[in-house]
């Protein structure tokens, strides 16, 4: 299993909000800035198969609205 840290910050920091990528196919949360970070890793965001959301605050799901 490969786990990549996409972000460890919060909405009010210069870092991406907390989220993780598992095996390049599962995102745990999909916060603001996640799509741009995935492109930097050469991963096209709409190739993500599953998204697990911790809860429905914008800093946990906002970029998921733009991948489908």
Strand partners, 50: 26
pLDDT at position 17 is 84
pLDDT at position 64 is 81
Instruction: State the Cα–Cα distance between residues 54 and 41, nearest whole angstrom.
Output: 23
Under 8 Å between Cβ of 20 and 30: no
pLDDT at position 56 is 81
Under 8 Å between Cβ of 9 and 32: no
pLDDT at position 39 is 92
pLDDT at position 43 is 92
The per-residue pLDDT string of the chain (68 residues; one tens digit each, 9 = 90 and over) reads 999 998 887 777 777 888 999 999 999 998 888 888 899 999 999 899 999 998 887 777 788 877 77
Under 8 Å between Cβ of 30 and 50: no
User: Residues, the chain, total?
Assistant: 68
């Amino acid at each position: 299993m490969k786990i990549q840290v996409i972000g460890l910050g919060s909405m009010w920091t210069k870092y991406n909000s907390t989220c993780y990528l598992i095996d390049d196919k599962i995102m745990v949360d999909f916060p603001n800035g996640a799509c741009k970070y995935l492109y930097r890793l050469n991963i096209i965001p709409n190739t993500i198969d599953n998204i697990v959301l911790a809860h429905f605050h914008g800093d946990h799901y906002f970029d998921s609205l733009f991948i489908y």
